Structure 1
Amino acid sequence: MFTRTESFREFILFYPVISLIILIHLLVFLATSLPILPGNEIFSLLAGVNLYIMEGEIWRLATPIFVHSGFAHLLFNSFSLVLFGPALERMLGKPRFLAVYLISGIAANVATLLLEPPAYVHVGSSGAIFGLFGFYISMAMYQKHMLSREGSQTILTIAAISVVMTFIQPNINITAHIFGLIAGFLIGRLLFKK
């Protein structure tokens, strides 16, 4: 379920939403990193800055999902998406998967706006990825037939480790991780009720 055996071409064909998200990650990273472009200006325009959001720059609730603060940050989040996203994109379909991803990420950024100080700056897709974990947890609790026993154990273990690491690693938006997880869980609960 979480192992990838597809070729690069097959992956793009089977999981177009995940492929598009990763392409956006890469393009935004290049745009904010290359010295020939006004990278700092682009980063500043897309990053989540609570003060600017309060002043009306509402797009900053969504754009930080696609911005990363360094190559390791980009690589870790994109790799997590490649590992844990495909099963959900296949099960939910493209529109629902994208909705879970974006709503979780935006909910994480709204929580960051409400709970962190005005000068707080945040970027990264971790809130959205934690939303996928939350959705899987909801699935494991309320739709057990959709996941194998091994799949459930794997996702619950990785989600638990990820939450613990959230509190151990420096420079982590703890608020986004926790509220992304909660948002994904609640979305799953609402979908499974129907």
Structure 2
Amino acid sequence: MPPAPPPAGPSLLERARRFPATFALIGATVLVFAGQWLGQTLTGADVVLYYGAKINEALAAGEAWRLVTPVFLHAGLLHIGVNMYSLYALGPAVERFFGHRRFLAVYLLAGVSGVLLSLVMSPSPSVGASGAIFGLLGSLAAFLYLHRATFGQFGAVQLRQLVFVALINLGMGLSPGIDNWGHVGGLAAGVALAWFVGPRFSTQVLPDGRALLLDQRPGRQIAIRLALAAAAVLILSIVAMVNVRRG
């Protein structure tokens, strides 16, 4: 008798139900890219990209929405394909541990932080979700480091893999045409956010021997810290835009 096939993994629909924030971000980004394609088809120019990309001169002129919109814009099919696959692969792990709200906060705040560092350090226009995805990578790595006693050898292996992936991608980011400052800004923000608003688990052993992870951060504390993190990013945004305007 042939061996039984291995059990099938969760379907795409099941993953979407378990990790709605990840799939909502993927869906929103794909819809924006469809809008880019439609605009280019109808007008001959990517008007969405033109009005949403990180362009230093436009930000200096007060177009503050460009701190957020570049996170949802992409320069081509390969660009969005690589970033959305990375989000699909990495997002569920972060969403599982951080929860839906904190996952979304890390993604957006890290994405904006990447745009901010790029604004300060690079004169070139840029778009892409990679800064936000680097933020997820940094937050997961920091989370595993902070919980290294909880996850033991498994966590150590995962942490080493994440560090390796980050170093490889930062090295690739040194190639021309890649906004590596956006990557660095997102990565640093992700690490900081994991420390400041991320979960702090303790282990409770159930009577049947199973281990249960309990987040020791109260919900009110999480909300306050998220508000403080958002306020810090807002203040840094104002300072960066004023400095760019002054030249």
TM-score normalised by length of structure 2 = 0.71
Find out whether 1:163 has 2:167 as its counterpart. Answer: no
- Give unpaired runs (5+ residues) of structure 1: none
Q: In structure 2, what is the equivalent of residue 121 of structure 1?
A: 125
Instruction: Quote the Cα distance in structure 2 between the aligned partners of 1:5 and 1:52.
Output: 47
Higher mean C-alpha displacement, 148-157 vs 13-22 = 148-157
Amino acid at match of 2:130: S
> Alpha carbons of 1:53 and 1:142: their partners in 2 closer, same or farther (altered >3 Å)?
same
Correspondence for 1:101: 107
Name the residue aligned to 2:228: none
Q: Which of residues 180, 198, 204 is equivalent to 1:174?
A: 180
3-state SS in 2 of match to 1:48: coil
Q: What does residue 22 of structure 2 align with?
A: 18
Q: Match of 2:120, as an amino acid? A: L
User: How far apart in 1 are the matches of 2:48 and 2:67?
Assistant: 16
Distance 1:140 1:148 in 2: 6
Paired position in structure 1 for 2:36: 32
Identity fraction in percent: 32
Structure 2 counterparts to residues 6-155 of structure 1, below 5 A:
6-34=10-38, 35-38=40-43, 40-117=46-123, 120-144=124-148, 145=150, 148-155=155-162
Asked if structure 2 preserves the Cα contact closer than 8 Å seen for 1:31 and 1:37, the reply is no
Is the Cα–Cα contact under 8 Å of residues 114 and 185 in structure 2 kept in the other structure? yes
Deviation per CA, 1:8-63, whole angstroms, max 9, x where unpaired? 21121111111111111111111111344446212211111111111111010001
Structure 1 distance, partners of 2:42, 2:192, is 40
Tell me, yes or no, if the aligned pair for 2:102 and 2:197 is still in contact at 8 Å.
no
Which of 1 and 2 has higher RCO (CA within 8 Å, sep 6+)? Answer: 1
Larger Rg: 2
CA distance in 2, matches of 1:122, 1:25: 16
Letter in 2 for 1:126: S
Q: CA RMSD in A?
A: 1.9
TM-score (norm 1): 0.89
Larger mean CA deviation between 58-67 and 147-156 belongs to 147-156
In the aligned structure 1, how far is the partner of 2:145 from the partner of 2:180? 24
CA distance in 1, matches of 2:132, 2:109: 8
Task: Give unmatched runs, 5+ long, in structure 2.
Answer: 1-7, 201-216, 218-247
Contact 1:101–1:128 (CA under 8 A) maintained in structure 2: yes
Distance 1:5 1:78 in 2: 20
